[in-house]
Amino acid sequence: MTTQDILRAAKACAPKLAAAQTDAKNQALLAMADALLECETDILAANALDLDAAKDHISPVMLDRLRLTHDRVAAMADGIREVAALPDPVGRVVSRTERPNGLVIEKTAVPMGVIAIIYESRPNVTSDAAALAVKSGSACVLRGGKEAFRSSNAITQAMQKGLEAAGLPAALVQLVQDTTRQSANELMTATGLVDLLIPRGGAGLIKACTDNAKVPCIQTGTGICHVYVDDSADLEKALAIVENAKTSRPSVCNAEEVLLVHEAVAPAFLPPLKKRLADDRAAAGKTAVELRLDEKAAAIIPGTPAGENDFDTEFLDYILAVKVVKDVNEAIAHIAAHSTGHSDAILTETPEHADLFTRMVDSAAVYVNASTRFTDGGEFGLGCEMGISTQKLHARGPMGLEELTTYKYIVRGNGQVR
């Protein structure tokens, strides 16, 4: 099927899912999970072909992301079951007004319709995204990365068997068969067929969507996250938070990329920080964090001099740019100029500084005395997430089930005219 055919089929069957009751959707999700397990042999065989084709031209880390195993397939099925257990976001009456003329107006959560998701090489995104879409009442059109195509296709076919076993159309979950750039562009420009486009991936993909999308689109993911250590910070806690934000998972968007330190505490804070992030880690056989220092920081500890772009780079690696600032206002100004609006933190024991920072920093998540790594659907109590929005329209931060719905006004009267 062409991408256009796939989109038309999705649009045609979306109303069926939109009208489905919670029980019917949950049964479909459980059937999708069962079908994944039943089709494990097919899925692993397809994955073996993907791995074989990719092994010479992608990195070991990427190869590991691509690899499926019995346990990983089981984890995918469990992921779908967890979505089934979450509350249904559809049908909730967000607000209700009775007007003086007797009209009753209910603002009611309803499905989006057709959600398109463009993602890269992790095959488990195929089942995660499909589960969230189905639970939120929308058909989904998935466009995965080329390297994982056979795996994603086998996963999609399994989920389609589950949908059909539950009496719902297979076309509610479809994978685009064309993995060239052309199909991504078709999704971006499918006005009238795609109600929401979610690109999940690197800065290149996000920029392509910003530049080319004519359908409503949510930017996800790019995170140049800052941690600012104020003059009143508890330095022991600060060491632990900076270490966690930088090193617990450097490849993700909520990892810290830039450290700002108040000049009054820089001499006391930076030497133990260097010991903890670089020296101790190296001694323990872990990857040492490379510190890229502005002039003031370089006067206190040794490290790489920060280059022009180091305060505007999402390293996604064991690299941390460090800058000494005069006060909380300079920290706020630096963040305003360099943040991608994802997650930024202040570590302080001064309530006024915490208030100023949370009021003035315009990011999806603004932290006081905690690691930026918490910006995550699960950690926020949303259950699961489709991605982290870094734009301000519609959804900001982790996008859970509610953020995948829209609303309509249902207005009931008995003959009112205006």
Q: 123, 151 in Cβ contact below 8 A?
A: yes
- Select from 41, 248, 287, 329 the one that contacts a second copy (CB under 8 A): 248
Q: Contact letters (x/-) for a second copy, 12-31, by CB under 8 A?
A: ---x--xx------------
Residue 349, Cβ neighbours under 10 Å: how many?
13
Pick one of 2, 41, 97, 287: the residue that binds a second copy (CB under 8 A): 97
Q: Using CB under 8 A, which residues numbered 359 to 388 contact a second copy?
A: 359-360, 362-371, 373-375, 379-381
C-beta closer to a second copy: residue 2 or 191? 191
386/33 Cα distance (integer angstroms): 18
- Is 358 a binder of a second copy (CB under 8 A)? yes
**Which of residues 49, 85, 282, 410 is near a second copy by CB under 8 A?**
410
Determine the Cα–Cα distance for residues 173 and 170; give it in Å rounded to an integer.
Answer: 6
Q: Taking Cα atoms as reference points, which of 317, 5, 285, 34 lies closest to residue 171?
A: 5
Per-residue interface string for the shown chain with a second copy, residues 40-79, x marking contact by CB under 8 A: ----------------------------------------
Q: What are residue 117's DSSP bridge partners?
A: 142, 198
Name the β-bridge partners of 199: 118
Site string for a second copy, 154-193 (x = CB under 8 A): -------------------------------------x--
What's the chain's Rg over C-alpha atoms? 24
CA neighbor of 311 nearest in space, from 334, 342, 343, 288: 334
Q: How far is the CB of 324 from a second copy (least distance, A)?
A: 23
- Residue keyed to tokens 């589950």: 162
Q: How far is the CB of 325 from a second copy (least distance, A)?
A: 18
181 Cβ neighbours under 8 A, 6+ residues apart: none
* Closest alpha carbon to 399 in 148, 217, 256, 175: 217
Alpha-carbon gap, residue 266 to 307, rounded angstroms: 20
Task: Compare residues 46 and 273 and give the one whose CB is closer to a second copy.
Answer: 273
Find the binder of a second copy among 47, 397, 400, 401 (CB under 8 A): 397
Q: How far apart are the first and last CA of the chain?
A: 49
**Binding of a second copy by 339 (CB under 8 A):** no
Please report whether residue 289 would count as binding a second copy according to CB under 8 A.
Answer: no
The residues binding a second copy (CB under 8 A) are: 15, 18-19, 97, 99, 103, 105, 110, 112-113, 191, 195-196, 210-211, 214, 216, 218, 234, 237, 240-241, 243-245, 248, 336, 354, 358-360, 362-371, 373-375, 379-381, 391-394, 396-397, 406-418
